[in-house]
Amino acid sequence: MNLSIITVTWNSESTICKQIASVQKHAEGLSFEQIIVDNGSSDKSLETINTYIKDNDLKNITVIDAKKNLGFGRANNVAFDQAKGEYVLFLNPDMQISDGQLKDLKTYMDKNTDVGISSVRLVDQDNIVNKQALPRLFPTFTILYLFVSKASLFFPFLLNDYLMEGFDIDKQQQVDSVRGSFMFTRKSFLDTLGWAFDPRYFIWFEDVDICKEANKHNLKVMHLPLMTCVDYIGQSFKQRQSFWKYNQFTTSLLQYAQKWHGPSWSIPLSVVQVPIKFLMKVRELVTDN
C-alpha cells in the first residue's frame, strides 16, 4: 500500500466530512487507507463519520473509537500501529486539500530518500498565506521563555524570525519544522522510532519533536509547493478555556526542553511557568464564580 492517512478527531463534526471528501478526490492514483481515531468526542463526530462512510460506500476508511481523549500524539500512535502504507500522512480533521495530488508527494519522496518529512502550501479559506501555519525554526531558549512568560503577547515582533515571517510558500525549501496538521512522512523513519509521535506529549510540540528527530537521523524536512491545503487551524482548541490551553502548551514545552536540552533549559522555564499557571487558574475560578 502506498499511503496511510491518519486523522484524529475531537468534536470535529462540522469539518471532518469535507476533509474526507478532499482526501478521496486528491488521492487518486494511489493505493491508500484512511484511519480515523475519535478522541472521545462529545458531539456527533463518530455518527457523522460513520454515516458519511456508509452513504458514500467508502471501503478504505477505518474508524477507531478511543472512547476518551488520549491526546493528539497517543491517538495518532493508535492508528500508526495499524498503518500499512509505505508513507504516512498526518492530516487534521479541519484540513481540506484544495489543489494538487498526493501521488506527487509520494513521487518526490521516492526520488529524494534523504527526506523524512514534507509538508505543502497551507492557506486560509481565501487562499491567502496562513501565517499561523508556516514552517518554523526550532525554538531557542529565548523563544520558549517568551511563550512561558506570555511576554510574546506584548512583544510579538520578537517571534518574527522564529515564525519565519515573510516565508515564500511557493518556493521549495528545506526547513526546521512543519505543522503536524499536514505532515507527509516516511514510515520506515517512524518505524525506527517505534511511534508516530513521542507519547510523552499530550498535545503541542509533538510535531516540532518529530521534526527534531528527523534532523537527528540526518533526514531533511521539506516544504513542497506541490499541493495546497486549506488549514482552518485550531477549530477544536476554540472549544477549550485559556487555562487549559496554557497548561497543556507549557507542559509540552517543558517536556520538549527537558528532552532536547536537559535541566539547564527546563528548570528555569518551569520556575516561570508555576506562578503564571497559579494566577491564570485563580482568574479562571474568579471569572466562573
Write out the residue range of the structural domain in which residue 64 sits. Answer: 3-134+169-239
Q: For the range 257-262, what are the long-range contacts, defined as Cβ-Cβ under 8 Å and sequence gap of 24 or more?
A: 257/141, 257/144, 259/198, 259/200, 259/209, 260/209, 260/212, 261/141
Q: Are 226 and 184 in contact (CB under 8 A)?
A: no
What average pLDDT score do residues 191-201 get? 97
Q: Is residue 281 included in any domain, yes or no?
A: no
Write out pLDDT tens, residues 65-110: 999 999 999 999 999 999 999 999 999 999 999 999 999 999 999 9
Helix, strand, or coil (residue 109): helix
Taking the C-alpha atoms of residue 211 and residue 213, their distance in angstroms, rounded to an integer, is 5
Assess if residue 148 is contained within a domain.
no
Give the distance, in angstroms, between the CA of residue 41 and the centroid of all CA atoms in the same chain: 18
In this model, does residue 42 exceed pLDDT 90?
A: yes
Hey, what's the cell of 244?
487549559
Q: How confident is the model at residue 4 (pLDDT cuts 50, 70, 90)?
A: very high
Q: Dihedrals φ, ψ of 255, to 5°?
A: -65, -40
pLDDT of residue 5: 98
Helix residue ranges, H only, 40-158: 45-55, 72-80, 102-111, 141-148
pTM of this prediction?
0.94
What's the CA dihedral at 155, 232, 211, 186 to 10 degrees? -170
CATH of the domain at 101: 3.90.550.10
Is 29 a member of any domain?
yes
Does 35 map to a domain?
Answer: yes
* Confidence (pLDDT) at 239: 57
Tell me what the mean pLDDT of segment 171-189 comes to. Answer: 97
User: In whole angstroms, what is the distance from residue 52 CA to residue 12 CA?
Assistant: 13
The phi and psi torsions of 27 (rounded to 5 degrees) equal -105, 15
Answer yes or no: is 152 within a domain.
Answer: no
Whether 289 shows a pLDDT value over 60: the answer reads no
Q: Does residue 161 sit within a domain?
A: no
Name 117's Cβ contacts closer than 8 Å, sequence gap at least 6.
Answer: 178, 183, 184, 185, 186, 189, 210, 211, 214, 219, 220, 221, 222
Q: What is the pLDDT of residues 229-280, one digit of tens each?
A: 999 875 555 556 788 999 999 999 999 999 999 999 999 999 999 999 988 8
Q: In angstroms, rounded to a whole number, what is the distance separating the alpha carbons of residues 200 and 28?
A: 35
Would you state the pLDDT for residue 54?
97
pLDDT of residue 238: 58
Residue 282: inside a domain: no
Q: What is the pLDDT of residues 198-227, one digit of tens each?
A: 999 999 999 999 999 999 999 999 999 999
Q: What mean pLDDT value characterizes the chain?
A: 94
- Per the structure, how many domains does the chain have? 1
Decide if 287 is inside a domain.
no
